[in-house]
Amino acid sequence: MCGIAGIMRVAPIVSPEVAIPDRWLDALDAPIMARGPDGAGRWRTRAPGPEGSVAHVALVHRRMAILDLAGGGQPMTIPARGDGAGEVAVTFNGCIYNHRSLRAELERLGHAFTSDHSDTETLLHGHREWGRGLQGRLEGMYAVGLWDGGERSLVLMRDLAGEKPLYFAEIRPRHGSGTDGSGAIVVFASSAGAVYGVLRMMQREAETEDWDQGIRRAIETAIAIDPAAMRQWIAFGWGEGTPWEGIRELKPGQLAWFDALGRTGRQRLSLEAEATRSLALDTRSAWSLIERAVEQRLEADVPLGCLLSGGLDSGLVAAAAQRALAKRGERLRTFTMRMPVATYDETALAELTARKLGTDHTTVEVEQDAAVDIRALIEWMGLPFGDSSILPTYWLSRAVRERVRVAISGDGGDELFGGYERHAAAPKLERYRSSLRAMGLIPWPASDPKSLGSKIGRLCDAASGAGYADLVAIYPSRQMAHLTGKTETVHRFEVPRMAQWRDFETYLPGDLLRKVDTASMRVALEVRAPLLDRELVYRAAATPLKTLMPGGRRKGMLREAAKGVLPDEVLRAKKAGFAVPIGDWFRAKGPLRTLLHETLRTPDTFEGICVAIDGRVVERMLAEHESSRRDHAQRLFALLSLGIWNRWRRGV
């Protein structure tokens, strides 16, 4: 796993160092440094065109060495050929699991590799052979920035599920750029904060230097807050992109390209189209595909382990990994974090699973400083991320990184196989919406968010509000209206044919995978998710809901596959979730409570976010939570993160 970044600038400037100064690259490099402790590289080129403009390109890389430790340094290039094929260069974050089979196919086609088994080099030769068709052949998690010297184009790619992040901004003047693309700037990075930081630097320089007015306005627009996006981040604690107007996140499965003439294009892997061409799953084929996907993700030239909770998904991944390693005479290392309170602790169930599978198991005890860590994580991410489970994910990653450098996880199982209560509730929400609206007149209790009464109340509110979106939101429609004074529904979005596919396309990359990537890469731990295997995803999407969830039973198909593989206690256990008692910590005297109150009670905390936050509502939530009349833990955490982020944003 690595950190990547780069800039393409089209301008009639001779010196590359003037076109893309080192200080810009330094600004991109600093936020991604922690992602790659094993190596650093930069690469530059300039590509004059017949129209008179020059495309200047610089790629930046921070390496965490996992495969081909000696030969996988980046940015990596292959030279131009006599047949007109231009030089190709790449900066790459992730892992291509089918790189060996792709390499063999490319060698048969005449490509000569120089590395021993670098998956990065496969991208270079694969692009030269198949162009933009390469993405459809890749099995892996990846974010890629690639320069094609023959086409004079920058290509960005992201994996199907969105395991690896990739943010970019395209700066173009609205007038004066002509047909040669001059004036255009494209910036990309693994970090949203890195892109924002370099654009702020450009903005300050543009104010003191003789920059084109169109470019200056384009930069100002790019770093302006998008009110609609900001409202989504507040409502959910995550967004499908960023809160800025012009800093975008490449969508999962998307490829974007930008050439030196100012032309650009997009294409995207289609989950729906592939599902129509795929066979449905049954219990046997699901388990077989999981075993294959896990085995494929065990290749590493460094120590590897498994993040094991007390649940079904990580248990099945661990079982498949232990079976595969046992054939080699090896034993899987598994890790579970002991939670601070029994309500959230799954160590006993995880230990049962580990004993049954025969893994080398460790229960890790972690040191925690929630107030310090949440500030550091939000500022490093550069986004107002509102899911408090980023804290235990970070603590676990930090402890596991002391023992291994790669970990496999069970991420994606809930989204593929129907694992959330809301997946079972979604059909009822549509079928009984009128009745649920009427039931919403009853004052359902809200002091305990896990109580049956609280869940029914939330379902009733969703029926009167934005539907399924309100079941996902931290601030459902009614509460969002109270907080911001806006009564319109601003975060309704279309739900696919099955609720879990809406979650796969939005909640999984926007919240869960973003959280795992941030927490793990902060300590340079590579986390792989076998359940997000491409064929497994396509076939799960082709499978009817009644087959995935027989009788409405969450993850019913997976539970059948796990019989005899995992302990019965694990199969019967209720889903606990990976959480900490953030609500209790907000009530207890200490640094986190102090940080919460100081942040939310500072008058200018939310200044400039383009969404009005009603301070009276915030004060009421603080009082209600403090007295335990209502549980506002996640809502307060989301506002705390927003305040930390806004203070960081204004200080960049």
Looking at mean pLDDT, say which of 252-261, 335-344, 571-580 comes out highest.
252-261
Residues 134 and 142 sit within 8 Å (Cβ to Cβ): no
87: burial class by Cβ within 10 Å (0-12, 13-18, 19+)? Answer: middle
CA dist list (Å): 357 to 313, 320, 343, 511, 564:
14, 9, 25, 31, 11
Instruction: Provide the 3-class DSSP secondary structure of residue 528.
Output: strand
Share of the chain above pLDDT 70, in %: 94
Looking at residue 489, what is its pLDDT?
54
Side by side, the strands of the sheet bearing 406-408 are 360-364, 333-337, 304-307, 406-408, 526-528
pLDDT digits (tens, 9 = 90+) for 14-60: 677 788 999 999 999 999 999 999 999 999 999 887 777 789 999 99
Average pLDDT over residues 117-122: 97
Domains, the chain, with CATH or none: 2-195+248-269 (3.60.20.10), 273-417+501-572 (3.40.50.620)
pLDDT value at position 600? 97
Residue 495 near residue 467 (C-beta atoms within 8 A): yes
For residue 435, what pLDDT band results from cuts at 50, 70 and 90?
Answer: confident
Question: pLDDT category, 493, cuts 50, 70, 90?
Answer: very low
Q: What is the 3-state secondary structure (H, E, C) of 594-652?
A: HHHHHHHCCCCCCCCCCCCCCHHHHHHHHHHHHCCCCCCHHHHHHHHHHHHHHHHHHHC
Any alpha helices (H) in 64-191, and if so which ranges? Answer: 99-108, 119-130
pLDDT of amino acid 16: 72
The reported pLDDT for the residue numbered 618 is 97
